[in-house]
């Protein structure tokens, strides 16, 4: 984790430091966890990370496979799952707290066959979400400060909605050419760059949007920073 990420991580926890107190950093700890697919017909995955570096990819043989690396003991993630009526709900949450020199990295893989609703809440840091191989039903990302790289390129089999909310930082969304795309983007004090979409009024659409069998609806709002929308 580079110096930029460490700085953002500290900023993300500053609001809670008065209550929690500064927690000492120690040696790096590693933990691997997995949640079996079982009889899951669909999944809802909720990731709540105070700060650090988050990576999410497809390719898990289980419903969710994860590796966690952190050097503040209280940042050990709490993992919960439950299944009802064929849907498995997974929540992975990090406790709050500030630490000088704290490092926190999550690396998760999702199943390529189970339709999934994904929600990510990241206080500060970096999120790299490579989801092109995951059968998505919806995506929600809330990031306080930092950088987001959301890659949706792949072969989507069904339409879905994407909602992104950012505070300060840069957000880049890679969109597939083989789906109809409708995008609405708003930036507070930042620039919006769009490639591969046609602007119509207050939104952008792909050339084949009306004819596409699979459509992606994107709603993204940023505070301070740049928004990049790329059809590739």
User: Do residues 160 and 216 make contact, with C-beta atoms less than 8 angstroms apart?
Assistant: yes
pLDDT of residue 189: 82
pLDDT digits (tens, 9 = 90+) for 111-153: 999 999 999 999 999 999 999 999 999 999 999 999 999 999 9
Q: What is the pLDDT of residues 6-16, one digit of tens each?
A: 434 444 444 34
Using one digit for the tens of pLDDT, what is the confidence trace for 214-224? 999 999 999 99
pLDDT value, residue 95: 79
Residues of the chain with pLDDT under 70: 1-22, 96-100
Contact 158, 214 (CB under 8 A): yes
pLDDT at residue 185, as a whole number = 96
Contact 121, 43 (CB under 8 A): no
Summary mean pLDDT of the chain? 91
Contact by Cβ (8 Å): 90, 101: no
Pairing relationship of beta strands 160-175 and 136-151 according to DSSP bridges: parallel
CA distance 40 to 121: 24
């Amino acid at each position: 984790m580079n110096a930029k990420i460490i700085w953002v991580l500290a900023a993300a926890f500053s609001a809670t430091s008065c209550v929690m107190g500064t927690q000492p950093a120690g040696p790096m700890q590693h933990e691997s966890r997995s949640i079996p697919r079982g009889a899951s017909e669909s999944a809802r995955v909720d990731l709540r990370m105070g700060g650090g570096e988050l990576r999410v990819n497809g390719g898990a043989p289980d419903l969710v496979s994860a590796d966690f690396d952190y050097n503040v003991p209280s940042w050990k993630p709490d993992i919960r799952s439950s299944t009802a009526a064929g849907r498995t709900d997974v929540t992975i949450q990090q406790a709050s707290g500030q630490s000088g020199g704290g490092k926190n990295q999550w690396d998760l893989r999702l199943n390529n066959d189970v339709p999934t609703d994904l929600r990510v809440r990241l206080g500060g840091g970096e999120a790299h979400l490579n989801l092109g191989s995951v059968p998505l039903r919806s995506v929600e990302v809330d990031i306080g400060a930092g950088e987001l790289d959301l890659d949706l390129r792949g072969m989507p089999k069904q339409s879905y909605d994407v909602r992104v909310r950012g505070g300060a930082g840069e957000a880049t969304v890679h969109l597939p050419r083989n789906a109809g795309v409708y995008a609405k983007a708003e930036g507070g004090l930042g620039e919006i760059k769009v490639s591969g979409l046609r602007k119509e009024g207050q939104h952008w659409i792909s050339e084949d949007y009306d004819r596409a069998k699979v459509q992606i609806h994107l709603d993204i709002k940023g505070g301070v920073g740049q928004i990049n929308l790329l059809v590739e």
